[in-house]
Amino acid sequence: MRTERGRERAGWYLVPAGALLCVVVLFPMVYVGWLSLERWSLLEGPARWIGLDNYLRVASDGRFWNALGNTVYFTVVSVLAELALGLAIALLLHRQGRGRALLYGVVLLPWAVPTAVSARMWEWMYNTEIGVINYLIGVEVNWLGSPGWAMHAAIAMDVWKSTPFVALLLIAGLQGIPGDLYRAAAVDGARGAMVLRTITLPLLAPVMLVAVVFRAIDAFRVFDTIYVLTGGGPADSTETLSIYVYRTLFHSLEFGYGSALAVVTLGCAALLTMAYVRLLTWRTQ
């Protein structure tokens, strides 16, 4: 009896959090679904219910497929690069004794700087005439203005910004590997690359997977970096899903179609999240 009443009261502690989630997440999710069934442009006047027409339009919208392709490319390339670089940094840092606090602070720096501000910094470094990157490597490439380079310039910035996060996760993972294993391997005569291949990497694999999915979910919704660096250009070559949705909503003022695009983006992200949940349950089994 007593625990039952205790539990009833325990529910009250969730009310503030629940109320916020309902107003700011749940209600908008339902509302965006509703909006996606309307033709509603702030330029055209009142909204009209058009059923699934917006979704049919998405399916045949070349710009949507371009944005999806760009998003996938951005996600795959940046996450793989971050994993490789993050692993190298983690292996280098994880048993560092001297200057450890300072090094961790330095590595946290790219993570801590606001992304929009970092993008401004990179934009300045990428400048064709007076950018330090062109100056140092002695070329005159228009990094942000040419369709071939712009996406890779954005990826390079994302790698800089997010590698520290991956490295820190992997350091935490490395610290969880029992030292006995390494001592046993040393007794058996295993050296450098062999230890890495037979002990470190297999035992680190679960954390690497989590890092990859974490980063993939985050990279998939990339907005700040690209909005500031290129705005989606040149010629839509860096336009990702989030950017396309934002432009449709706030530049074209098409709230109906923009909402349909948002729902599709949400669906893609949900697939990634489901992959993550499966991964977690697979790990705990």
Partner 1 sequence: MSAATRFVLLAVVALYCVAPFLWQLISSLKPAGELLALPPLLPTRMSFAHYAAVFGDHAFARMIANSVIVATATTMLSLAVGALAAFALSVLRLPHRTAMLGMLLAVSMFPPIATVSPLFLLLNAVGLRDTLFALILTYTTFSLPLSVWLLARFFDQLPRELYVAARADGCTAFGALRRVILPLSTPGLLAAGLLVFVFCWNEFLFALSFTATQASRTIPVGIALFPGLHEIPYGEIAAASVVATLPVVALAFAFQRRIFDGLTAGAVKG
Q: 37 with 49: CB under 8 angstroms?
A: yes
User: How many of the chain's residues bind partner 1 (CB under 8 A)?
Assistant: 94
The DSSP line for 51-83 is TTHHHHHHHT-HHHHHHHHHHHHHHHHHHHHHH
Question: By C-alpha distance, which of 70, 54, 73 is closest to 261?
Answer: 54
Q: Using the rule CB under 8 A, which residue among 16, 45, 62, 138 binds partner 1?
A: 16
259 binds partner 1 (CB under 8 A): yes
62-101 residues near partner 1, rule: CB under 8 A:
89, 92-93, 96, 99, 101
Q: Using the rule CB under 8 A, which residue among 211, 226, 230, 232 binds partner 1?
A: 211
203 binds partner 1 (CB under 8 A): no
The DSSP line for 188-254 is TT--HHHHIIIIIHHHHHHHHHHHHHHHHHHHHT--HHHHHHTTT-STTTT--HHHHHHHHHHTS-B
21 binds partner 1 (CB under 8 A): yes
241 binds partner 1 (CB under 8 A): yes
CA distances for 8 relative to 2, 5, 11, 16, angstroms: 10, 5, 6, 15
Q: 115 with 225: CB under 8 angstroms?
A: yes
Q: Using the rule CB under 8 A, which residue among 64, 74, 149, 227 binds partner 1?
A: 227
Q: 249 with 263: CB under 8 angstroms?
A: no
245 binds partner 1 (CB under 8 A): yes
Min dist CB 274 to partner 1, Å, is 9
Distance in angstroms (rounded) separating the CA atoms of residues 177 and 66: 43
Q: Using the rule CB under 8 A, which residue among 59, 117, 194, 271 binds partner 1?
A: 117
219 binds partner 1 (CB under 8 A): no
132-191 residues near partner 1, rule: CB under 8 A:
132, 135, 160, 164-165, 168-169, 171-173, 176
Between residues 150 and 171, which has the closer beta carbon with respect to partner 1?
Answer: 171
Min dist CB 11 to partner 1, Å, is 7
